[in-house]
């Protein structure tokens, strides 16, 4: 006898989904952040497998001496790695200090657990530093002087970053020429709004139609004390201008960093915090 074919209605699933959709995102985000954090292990595992053959299949000859040599090689490698990390931190801090000389910040260093978002239309990163490490909602995340995004949610040990390419990201911004002798000049009349597009780039909108934008120029943040945004952080490079002669021109902005390839970032902690 064939199995009994039950007809099922879509309505209960629609109802459940709508209830979940109505719930404010922050209510569920902490739990989701905690649930997704172990996926970072997969990324770590993929990196670990690159060095696995050397570890699993050591040479048999001169066992004791070889073990000692390996131990010292490991120690040297460990020190080299530590040195590299410190160099990167110093480099990032000094580049930031160059971009925003008049600002005073503290920087937190965080590793990237997951460099992507589950949804194709949202852009986020998961970091390995959370509320217990001093991270708070709204803090800015940087790589060198490139603005990576803003902390959207914090768990105890992890935090979620809304990238600058996320469609919900917005910031006051200004386009500056590629090279200037005295550093970037901020013309208040040319300030616009930068927003993400869910693609690989963002766009600068709502600037004056007459504003001259260098096609190879850069887009930098303008000061926004309310949201803790200092001026001069890099949002990206101008790659094209759409509707240049019209009433609503838009500059396409390409971030200078591939966010998917990031392994570590800096979190900006303002003095007032």
Partner 1 sequence: MSRYSTAKLMAWGIVALAAEVTLLETFAVKGARPELLLSVACFAALFARDSQQGLLACWGIGLLKDAASSGPLGLHALLFAVAGWAVLQVRQVLFRESPVTQLAVGFLAACWVNVAGAIFVSVTAGGIPVGVIVGKTLISALLTAAFTPALLLFFSRVRWSVR
Question: Which is closer to partner 1, CB of 7 or CB of 188?
Answer: 7
Report the distance separating Cα 106 and Cα 25, nearest Å: 29
Question: Which DSSP helix (H) or strand (E) runs through 174?
Answer: strand 170-176
How many angstroms separate the CA atoms of 130 and 246, rounded? 45
- Find the part of the chain contacting partner 1 (CB under 8 A) among 57-65, 67-75, 78-86, 121-129: 121-129
**What distance in Å separates the CA atoms of residue 107 and residue 266, rounded to the nearest whole number?**
6
> Residue 37 or 93: which CB sits closer to partner 1?
37
Determine if 114 is a binding residue for partner 1 (CB under 8 A).
yes
Smallest distance from partner 1 to CB 171, Å? 12
Rounded to 5°, angle at Cα 170 from 151 and 124: 40
Contact residues for 206 (Cβ-Cβ < 8 A; gap 6+): 192, 193, 248
Question: Which lies closer to partner 1 via its Cβ, residue 116 or residue 128?
Answer: 116
Sequence-ordered alpha helix ranges (H) in 100-201: none
Q: Which of 130, 155, 192, 196 binds partner 1 (CB under 8 A)?
A: 196
For partner 1, the binding residue among 66, 132, 178, 260 (CB under 8 A) is 260
Q: Measure Cα distances from 175 to 2, 28, 181, 244, 256 in Å.
A: 69, 37, 16, 14, 15
Of the two residues 38 and 53, which places its CB atom closer to partner 1 in the complex? 38
| Contact range with partner 1 by CB under 8 A, out of 84-92, 96-104, 115-123, 233-241 | 115-123
Q: Collapse the DSSP code of 164 into the 3-class scheme (helix H, G, I; strand E, B; otherwise coil) and give the result.
A: coil
Q: Which of 96, 86, 182 is nearest to 141 (CA)?
A: 96
Q: Which is nearer to partner 1, 99 or 221 (CB)?
A: 221
Report the residue number, 43 or 109, with the smaller CB distance to partner 1: 43
Q: Which is nearer to partner 1, 15 or 58 (CB)?
A: 15
Which residues ranging from 41 to 100 are in contact with partner 1 (CB under 8 A)? 42-43, 46
Q: How is residue 55 written in tokens?
A: 């570890």
Pick from 1, 5, 51, 54 the residue near partner 1 by CB under 8 A: 5
Q: How far apart are CA 106 and CA 233, in angstroms?
A: 15
Contact map string, positions 7 to 46, toward partner 1, x by CB under 8 A: xx-x--xx-xxxxxx-x-x--xx--x--xx--x--xx--x
| 122 to 161: interface string for partner 1, x by CB under 8 A | x-x---------------------------xx------x-
Provide the 3-class DSSP secondary structure of residue 77.
Answer: helix
Burial 14-37 (b: 16+ CB within 10 A, else e): eeeeeeeeeeeeeeeebeebeebb
- Site residues, partner 1 (CB under 8 A): 3-8, 10, 13-14, 16-21, 23, 25, 28-29, 32, 35-36, 39, 42-43, 46, 114-122, 124, 152-153, 160, 162, 166-170, 195-200, 203, 260
């Amino acid at each position: 006898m064939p199995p009994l074919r039950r007809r099922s209605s879509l309505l209960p699933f629609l109802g459940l989904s709508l209830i979940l959709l109505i719930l404010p995102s922050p209510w569920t985000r902490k739990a989701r952040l905690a649930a997704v954090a172990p996926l970072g292990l997969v990324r770590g595992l993929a990196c670990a497998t690159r060095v696995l053959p050397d570890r699993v299949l050591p040479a048999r000859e001169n066992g004791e001496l070889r073990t000692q040599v390996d131990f010292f090689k490991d120690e040297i490698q460990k020190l080299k790695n530590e040195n590299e990390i410190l160099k990167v931190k110093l480099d990032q801090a000094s580049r930031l200090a160059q971009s925003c000389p008049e600002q005073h910040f503290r920087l937190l260093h965080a590793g990237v657990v997951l460099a992507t978002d589950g949804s194709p239309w949202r852009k986020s990163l998961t970091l390995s530093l959370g509320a217990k490490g001093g991270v708070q909602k709204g803090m800015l995340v940087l790589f060198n002087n490139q603005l990576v995004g803003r902390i959207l949610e914090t768990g105890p040990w992890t935090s979620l970053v809304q990238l600058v390419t996320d469609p919900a990201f917005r910031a006051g911004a200004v386009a500056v020429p590629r090279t200037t002798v005295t550093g970037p000049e901020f013309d208040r009349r040319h300030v616009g709004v930068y927003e993400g597009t869910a693609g690989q780039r963002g766009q600068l909108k709502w600037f004056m139609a007459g504003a001259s934008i260098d096609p190879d120029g850069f887009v930098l943040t303008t000061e926004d004390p309310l949201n803790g945004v200092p001026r001069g952080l890099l949002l990206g490079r101008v790659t094209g201008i759409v509707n240049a002669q019209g009433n609503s021109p838009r500059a396409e902005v390409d971030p200078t960093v591939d966010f998917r390839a990031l392994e570590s970032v800096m979190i900006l902690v303002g003095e007032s915090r």
